[in-house]
Amino acid sequence: MRKLSFFILLFGLVLSLCPALRADEGMWLPSLIEQGHIKDMRAKGFRLKAQDLYAVNRASLKDAIVRFGSGCTGELISDQGLLITNHHCGYGQIQQHSSVEHDYLTDGFAAMNRDEELPNPGLTVSFLVEMRDVTDSILKGVTNTMDETERQQIVEANKKEVVGSATEGNHYRASVEALYYGNQYFLFVYEVFEDVRLVFAPPSAVGKFGGDTDNWMWPRHTGDFSIFRVYASPDNKPAPYSPDNVPYVPKKSFTISLKGIRPGDFTFVYGFPGRTYQYLHSEAVRYIQEKSDPHKVRLRTLRLEVMNRAQAADPAVRIQYAAKNANVSNAWKKWQGEMKGLKRLGTVAKKQAFERRFEAWAADKPEYAGVTERLARLYDSLEPYAFARDYHTEAVLAIELFRFAGTFAGVEEWTPEAIEQVRKRSAAFFKDYVPAIDRETARRLLEEYERHVPESFRPQGGKIDVGAIFDSTLLVDSVRVGRLLAEGDTAAVRRIVDSDAAVRAFRAFTAVYKTRIEPAYKELNGQIDRLYRTYMRGMMEMPGAGKAFYPDANSTLRIAYGKVEGYRPVDAVVYEPVSTLEGVMEKDNPEIYDYNVPARLRRLYETKDYGRWAVNGTVPVAFIATNHTTGGNSGSPVLNGRGELIGVNFDRCWEGTMSDLEYDPEVCRNIALDIRYALFLIDRVGGAGYLLDEMKFAE
Ligand code: ARG
Ligand code: ASP
């Protein structure tokens, strides 16, 4: 007994020494599950084999998962190319097809047959064909003593060769990605489809129910999904949009579980997490928590105030600025949760303690000794540049006019083709542009910019006169811009563009950024990255650090697993892990746009007419689990132990949004839509029950 408790104590101690490992933490590489976490997964309730998750020469679950666009995940749910992702992932597309007359954002959209499915130029989905450790090939010719520039040249050349041979004689695309700060390299080969059509979207009052108020929050009642279809050439290969294309037949599609979930059930999330920073130095975390996040939050608060007011006053503006607002609001809220979470966990102090232990261990190892101190010094030098850079992106480039001016400023030669390109870009810009919003935003942002950014990082010439820029620029006037570009007089375009006030302002800001901020920022970051490579290797070598390291997310396919579980957000409050239609109706409020439950759903609720979707007299809506996820995991399949689809991931709980830097098993939860809510909505609210005929169910 005595001995045992001593052992447990010791074990607990070892765990707490780890820079990384906590229960359910981790985003694992699918191809390494077989040698790695399959045992633990099976012990916790996974019923399949590693080969069912990832295999190269036969179909596996990975073949049913796509990177959706550049920032989300989606999964195939029929053998006719039907795909489900989040409403917020298809939001840009749904908005693009919307106007005041066809307001698919408000009313939802359902294609009643294949001909009604809407093409989305520019949208792609990528299937992972294969992933492979190519460290040896990439580091061929690299030595420990070589300087960094030389190393980089060799690595780049080797990457080219590896990518070249992976894509030779086929239609695949490939990339080589660094893991563990360049201690390891993996090749990823993708098959990319470009004809992806919109099939179904619920009304925003469902798909974005609760709007930005409920965003990042539990309890949640958002039906955050949309349905697309992947099309291929008649021989089932990727092809640009064509009416002759046919639904893609995937190697694999998910079976949908109708059995439901219970607290404690094993689940896993299989998707494309974007970026995490688990191994960051304490100084970097301190900068994020104490400086970067607070400033960025304040700048975005200003932007949101202006947008919200204008959108509330005019329904056309509400649509025009819907996606922009959602974008700005999303990180704004996340950063607030992140700051709070880091503070509560004391991440900076914990990292400092770890760094001291690391240095003690490294004291007699010249390769590692002093690495964390050198990092601290570099971060100190970096801070002014990082701060100026934050303001460049969050204040200067947040001004829509400046970004638009950048399109003009970036044209080197005004050829007819260049004019045509800019004309297209202008059309898209003016469709959703309200100069009054931008002007007010610019005024307030630049005020902050002048207050906080030291003069040496600002364009010369004193105060920036926003009013004068907006009054004299051509670029806020769609008619005049249209006329200028239509006339196609290249000399005139160049002359007018070069003297335009917005273009000149943009050039002035860009010039300071490019000369006084970016070069130093890049140079210092290069040195920092180099040190991380050493630091990371040291952490992995250091005894007691455990072998359960996982590479930071980098938009490559990963598996995270955990269980359905509630949490305690604050003192005296316990959150249950499952939400239902009852909660949707509790929040129902016709007065508030984001909580105005569609009449049809309200009626179903009143008559309790749920048909086969009834569970204990209601309909399940969403659930939370301990899976470690991040941005990019949106739309990822949430699966049960049998690999059947039980939900679609769409968010994290606010109290746990620091999980990109430190995962806390107590409060870090991913939020998933219960797949049965999506089916109920398609069937009973959207009137597109015919789509269910394509799907496979496990009852
Ligand atoms: N928070 C989720 C994610 O980071 C959803 C964002 C979209 N929803 C919104 N209301 N802005 O992407
Ligand atoms: N909502 C995020 C996404 O779009 C997911 C997250 O950050 O947890 O990927």
| Ligand 1 pocket residue status of 212, Cβ below 6 Å | yes
d(CA 441, CA 444): 5
Which ligand is the nearest neighbour of the Cα of 71?
Answer: 2
For ligand 2, atom 1: residue with the closest CA: 651
Residue to probe by mutation, ligand 1, list 214, 272, 330, 634, most atoms within 8 Å of CB: 330
210 lines ligand 1 (CB under 6 A): no
Whether 329 lines ligand 1, by a CB cut-off of 6 Å, is yes
Are the C-beta atoms of residues 87 and 202 closer than 8 Å to each other? Answer: yes
Distance CA(684)–CA(673), nearest Å, equals 17
> Which protein residue's CA is at the shortest distance from atom 2 of ligand 2?
631
Cα–chain-centroid distance for residue 593? Answer: 26
Burial class from Cβ neighbours inside 10 Å (0-12, 13-18, 19+) for residue 454 reads exposed
What is the residue with the minimal CA distance to atom 5 of ligand 1?
A: 651
For tokens 């693009």, name the residue: 96
In the numeric block, the tokens 């004309």 are attached to 423
Residue 194 pLDDT > 70, yes or no? Answer: yes
Q: Which positions ≥6 away from 227 have C-beta within 8 Å?
A: 82, 83, 84, 198, 199, 200, 201, 682, 691
Residue nearest to atom 7 of ligand 2 (CA): 631
Closest atom of ligand 2 to 633 CA is: 9
To test the pocket of ligand 1, the residue of 215, 226, 307, 308 to mutate (highest count of ligand atoms within 8 Å of its CB) is 215
> Within 10 A of 24 (CB to CB), how many other CB atoms are there?
18
| Å from CA of 329 to ligand 1 middle | 8
> Ligand 2: does its nearest atom lie under 6 Å from the Cβ of 634?
yes
- Of 22-31, 60-69, 236-245, 515-524, the one with minimum mean pLDDT is 22-31
The mean pLDDT of the chain is 94
Residue from 650, 659, 673 whose mutation best tests the ligand 1 pocket (most atoms within 8 A of CB): 650
Annotation says 634 is catalytic = yes
pLDDT at 8: 40
Which of 224, 651, 660, 674 is the catalytic position? 224
DSSP state, 682? I
Of the bound ligands, which one is closest to the alpha carbon of residue 222? 1
Ligand 1, atom nearest to 212 Cα: 10
Would you place residue 547 in the very low, low, confident or very high pLDDT band (cuts 50, 70, 90)? Answer: low
Cβ(657) – ligand 2 distance below 6 Å:
no
Distance CA 65, CA 128 (A): 8
Segment 581-598 mean pLDDT: 96
Measuring from atom 6 of ligand 1, which residue has the nearest CA? 330
Ligand nearest to the CA of 636: 2
pLDDT bucket at 23, cuts 50 / 70 / 90? confident
- Ligand 2 contacts CB of residue 629 (under 6 A): yes
How many Å apart are CA 413 and CA 416, to the nearest integer?
9
Task: State the average pLDDT over residues 522-541.
Answer: 96
Q: Is 337 in the pocket of ligand 1 (CB under 6 A)?
A: no
What are the two backbone dihedrals, phi and then psi, of residue 250, each rounded to the nearest 5 degrees? -75, 160
Ligand 2 centroid – CA 466 distance (Å): 35
Structure tokens at 675: 């797949």
Cα dist from 377 to 357, 362, 390, 452, whole Å: 18, 18, 20, 23
pLDDT surpasses 50 at 4: no
Query: Contact at 8 Å (CB) between 262 and 564?
Result: yes
Best probe residue, ligand 1, of 68, 275, 634 (max atoms within 8 Å of C-beta) = 634
Q: What is the pLDDT of residues 489-507, one digit of tens each?
A: 889 999 999 999 999 999 9
Q: Is 652 in the pocket of ligand 2 (CB under 6 A)?
A: yes
- Look at residue 99 in the predicted model and tell me its pLDDT: 82
Residues 270, 275, 280: CA angle, nearest 5 degrees? 125
Q: Does the pLDDT of residue 699 top 70, yes or no?
A: yes
Give the mean model confidence (pLDDT) for residues 463-486: 96
Q: pLDDT band for 14, please (50, 70, 90 cuts).
A: very low
As a whole number of angstroms, the distance between CA 426 and CA 476 comes to 10
Distance, CA 87 to ligand 1 centroid (Å)?
Answer: 10
> Is 24 among the catalytic positions?
no
Give yes or no for residue 273 CB within 6 A of ligand 2: no
Q: Which ligand is nearest to the CA of 68?
A: 2
Does the annotation count 102 as an active-site position?
A: no
Q: Among 164-178, 398-412, 479-493, which stretch is predicted with the lowest mean pLDDT?
A: 479-493
Higher pLDDT, 322 or 268: 268
pLDDT 10s digits, 339-348:
999 999 999 9
Could you tell me which residues are beta bridge partners of residue 65? 75
Which ligand is located closest to the Cα atom of residue 333? 1
Annotated active-site residue in 37, 87, 88, 221: 88
Tokens of 570: 């604050």
DSSP 446-498: HHHHHHHS-GGGS-SSSS--HHHHHHH-STT-HHHHHHHHHH--HHHHHHHHH
With CA atoms as reference, report the closest residue to 368 among 539, 211, 236, 212: 539
Q: Would you state the pLDDT for residue 147?
A: 85
pLDDT at 21: 58
Residue 679 has pLDDT above 80, yes or no: yes
What φ, ψ does residue 646 adopt, rounded to 5°?
-110, -15
**Ligand 2 within 6 A of CB of 329:** no
pLDDT digits (tens, 9 = 90+) for 285-324: 999 999 999 999 999 999 999 999 999 999 999 989 988 9
Query: pLDDT tens digit string along 111-133?
Result: 999 999 999 999 999 999 999 99
Distance 618 CA to ligand 1 centre (A): 26
Q: Report, as an integer, the average pLDDT of 252-274.
A: 97
